[in-house]
Structure 1
Amino acid sequence: MFFKRIGSVTLSAITLAFLIFTLTGCGSSSQGKLVEGKLNVVTSFYPLYFLAQQIGGSGTNVINMIPAGVEPHDWSPKSRDLDTAARAQLFLYNGAGLEGWVNDFLEGLPSETKLVTVEASKDIPKLAGNPEEEEGHEEGHNNDDSHEGHVDPHTWVSPKSMLIMAKTVLESFQAVDPAHKSDYDANYAELHAKLAELDRSYEKALSAAPNKAIVTTHRAFGYLARDYGLTQVAIMGLSPDAEPKAQDLLRIAKYVKDNGIKYIFFEELVSDELANTLAREADVSTLVLNPVEGLTPEQEKKGEDYFSLMRANLQNLVQALQ
């Protein structure tokens, strides 16, 4: 086996961690059923499912296409998902390239469908750039990149973006079902107040943090970094199954040591092996930073939601940035 040491980081150890890195979950299909007499809403992944449930209330039936525990970057719809959506009234998807399957999916809808489709992230100023295709990108090079034709899809990870997306979801409900406009308004007002409070908590806590750099396994926190004055350094790119180069892993480990980083963040729906390997090499610890792309079955059983996961994220961010 070829061994090479740069600084105090062993190339073979990190390469081995990369080789055994795997994603969890693949290929499952949604289990929701349409309900006659209610507004049926199909969502592409958890954050939109959460917004739709909160705004729709008891008068709507919301079906999330991606089951608990499945990473959305690794999922594609089945024929029964297309059939369910075709018979619903509203389909909400994130857009910005998250759902690579969405164009073919929409083209596959039958001509007689009355489904209204809405891109929930349409009003959010996008972060451009595709680090998977970069050569020699620098640390923190995610917030103002301009790689034509590519955008960062992870809008919902910032409470500021979720406020914008919630308004888009509200308007889509009211357009499809104007008879219940007042109900949706009331539900939205309650949701907006909670999201605004979460935003204020992030602003207050992160502005006071003495350090501003976070090291993550997945480049999913660009909007969070942009909106709250942080710098994100990621092991992998916009998709959690992007393949990191060995020299990038070595460079990030050196960055961790040189900049006094205390924690490397990992997420629950993908393997933590790379984060653990870098943490061992750099003699630091790991913490969860959840991109809130979906709930695990355990989180679902415990009643966790976007708010509880984002509050846990803030707690871990504050701890790491001391």
Structure 2
Amino acid sequence: MRTPLKVTALTATAVLASVGLGACGGDSDPGPTASPSKISVVAAFYPLQFVAQRVGGDAVTVTNLAKPGVEPHDMELVPEQVRQIVDANLVVYLRGFQPAVDEAVEQNAKDSSFDGLAIESLRDAPAGGEHEGEEHEGEEESKALNGKDPHIWLDPTRLATLGDKLADRLATLEPGRAADFRNGAAALRAELGKLDTEYTDSLGTCQRREIVTSHAAFGYLAGRYQLEQIPISGLSPEEEPSPQHMAEVAEQARARKVTTIFFETLVSPKVAETIAREVGAKAEVLDPIEGLTPGSSDDYLSVMRTNLGRLKAALGCG
């Protein structure tokens, strides 16, 4: 149960959410009603929901702040979502990735939050070639991350570590089920280890190693499997690349005989398609798994395996 002081903070935060954070009415998801015997977990976006459900099992009720089809980077919160953060036993998020979530956690859930980025040594984010000196969407996120890349979930081994640490945190909330949480994390680690082996074996011998991506989401995946990411935009998919940077990407793609320009599911493919036409390549989806598409029956593992098939085709892997 939340303390009276914690709940009292809701009034000011709800006003902030409706006025300062904006109202995108269709984005509010009341989520499941938590049983008194279960730990209520709020996940900031899909990969964290996936891990929390796998680790927590039937001991948790997980609510995802980002509905399917919503791009989570610059997601705004409505008052109902702030209430979910206030009432949760645990909020799982990545500090700096979603500024609106950071603000709500800072005001209402500092003592009941789990920052997945705090457990990892982060990669430097590559430059995306945005217009210099101009404000653009995603700038607040980039500053909050201090030039670091938050997309740790695209390396299965890092996601497994996040699961282990989350199990430890859940155990502090429900000590009697600590063994269950750690067993859930171990089972998840085994699944992710199998996925990691599939990637390592499949991408070990390829004709090319370069992947041109619509934004710089795949640095951890590329680093894990000895690929080179060439991003069109920076950390946020909403950042607009400059014409000069687009020309540089196209030049690199031609020089390295890139056959595929990758775009993603939740943002416009227009820039990637423009570069693909210019260099005579095809445009194809490579999903950063920041959220699922509405009505999808996929999960993290199946989307990662779909990504692997597309990478193999694009890179000419045997």
Q: Which TM-score band applies after superposition, normalised by the shorter structure?
A: 0.7 to 0.9
Give the whole-Å Cα distance in 1 for the aligned partners of 2:199 and 2:161.
16
1:116 is matched with which residue: 90, 108, 112? Answer: 112
- Tell me the residue number matched to 2:93: 93
From 189, 194, 205, give the equivalent of 2:186: 189
More divergent stretch after superposition (264-273 vs 73-82):
73-82
The verdict on how the C-alpha distance between 1:130 and 1:275 changes in structure 2, with shifts beyond 3 A counting, is closer
Which residue of 115, 121, 127 corresponds with 2:123?
127
**Matches for 1:143-158 after TM superposition, within 5 Å:** 149-158=146-155
TM-score of the superposed pair, with normalisation by structure 2:
0.83
The one-letter amino acid paired with 1:55 is: V
Show the counterpart of 1:19.
none
- 3-state SS in 1 of match to 2:236: coil
Match of 1:217 among 214, 217, 227: 214
Q: CA deviation at 1:188?
A: 1.8
Residue 79 of structure 1: how far off its partner (Å): 2.0
Aligned-pair CA distance for 1:171: 1.2
Structure 2 stretches of 5 or more lacking a match?
A: 1-23, 133-144
C-alpha distance in 2, partners of 1:208/1:221?
Answer: 19
Q: Does 1:76 align with 2:76?
A: yes
Q: Indicate whether 1:42 and 2:42 are aligned.
A: yes
Query: Is residue 55 of structure 2 the alignment partner of residue 29 of structure 1?
Result: no
Letter in 1 for 2:173: V
Q: 2:197 aligns with which of 196, 200, 206?
A: 200
Displaced runs of 4+ in structure 1, greater than 6 A? Answer: 133-136
Secondary structure of the structure 2 residue equivalent to 1:229: coil
User: Residue 41 of structure 2 aligns to a residue in which SS?
Assistant: strand
1:319 pairs with 2:316: no
- Which residue identity is paired with 1:52? A
Give the Cα–Cα distance (whole angstroms) in 2 for the partners of residues 166 and 107 of structure 1: 23
Task: Name the aligned partner's letter for residue 127 of structure 2.
Answer: P
- Gaps (5+ residues) in structure 1? 1-24, 137-147
TM-score normalised by length of structure 1? 0.82
Bigger drift between 183-192 and 274-283 goes to 183-192
Q: Summarize the Cα distance change of 1:298–1:161 in structure 2 as closer, same or farther, 3 Å threshold.
A: same
Does the Cα contact within 8 Å between 1:27 and 1:75 map onto a contact in 2?
no
In 2, Cα distance between equivalents of 1:31 and 1:130? 36
Task: Give the aligned residue type for 2:123.
Answer: L
Task: Name the SS of the counterpart of 1:101 in structure 2.
Answer: helix
Asked if the contact 1:89/1:115 (under 8 Å) is kept, the reply is: no
Q: Which is helix-richer, 1 or 2?
A: 2
Cα distance in 1 for residues equivalent to 2:25 and 2:123 = 28
Indicate conservation of the 8 Å contact 1:219/1:235, yes or no.
yes
- Give the secondary structure class of the aligned counterpart of 2:233: coil
Q: CA deviation at 1:257?
A: 1.2
Distance change >3 Å, CA 177–CA 115, structure 1 → 2: farther
User: Is 1:268–2:265 an aligned residue pair?
Assistant: yes
User: SS at 1:214's partner residue?
Assistant: strand
* Structure 2 Cα separation of the partners of residues 244 and 114 of structure 1: 35
Gap change, CA 1:168 and 1:98, over 3 Å in 2 = same
Task: Report the Cα distance in structure 2 between the residues aligned to 1:205 and 1:122, rounded to whole angstroms.
Answer: 31
- Please state whether the residue corresponding to 1:127 is helix, strand or coil: coil
Structure 1 residues 155 and 180, CA gap change in structure 2 (3 angstroms): same
Q: Indicate conservation of the 8 Å contact 2:126/2:216, yes or no.
A: no
Aligned AA (1:318): K
2: CA distance between counterparts of 1:152 and 1:250? Answer: 24
Q: Is the 8 A contact 2:68 2:293 kept in 1?
A: yes
The one of 194, 202, 224 equivalent to 1:227 is 224
Aligned residues: 280
In structure 2, the residue corresponding to 1:208 is in which secondary structure?
Answer: coil
Q: Is the 8 A contact 2:214 2:263 kept in 1?
A: yes
CA distance in 2, matches of 1:61, 1:106: 19
